[in-house]
């Protein structure tokens, strides 16, 4: 009985943690609205995921570089 409860607890934690997965660079490159919202929250200091801030900044910098090079 305790083993079933333990397994159920881990399964629930796993499912809930999957909801807050870090958005990768590819996803942010294809979603300018999400990227803008994350960048704003990062600038405000209200975004809790530093990896996601880094990903959004990297994608935005790449986009600006491509734009400045006329590509």
List the domain boundaries for the chain: 22-71
Task: Provide the 10 A C-beta neighbour count for residue 56.
Answer: 26
d(CA 8, CA 2): 10
Number of alpha carbons in the 13 Å side-chain half-sphere of residue 33: 0
With a cut of 60, say whether residue 17 has pLDDT above it.
Answer: no
Residue 52 phi, psi dihedral angles, 5° rounding: -65, -35
Question: Any idea what DSSP says for residue 21?
Answer: P
Digit-coded pLDDT (tens) for 23-64? 999 999 999 999 999 999 999 999 999 999 999 999 999 999
> pTM of the entire structure?
0.70
């Amino acid at each position: 009985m305790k083993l079933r409860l333990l397994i159920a607890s881990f399964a629930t934690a796993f499912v809930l943690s999957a909801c807050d997965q870090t958005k990768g660079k590819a996803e942010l490159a294809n979603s300018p609205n999400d990227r803008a919202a994350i960048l704003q929250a990062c600038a405000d200091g209200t975004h809790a995921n530093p990896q996601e801030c880094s990903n959004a900044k990297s994608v935005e910098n790449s986009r600006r570089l491509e734009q400045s090079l006329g590509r």
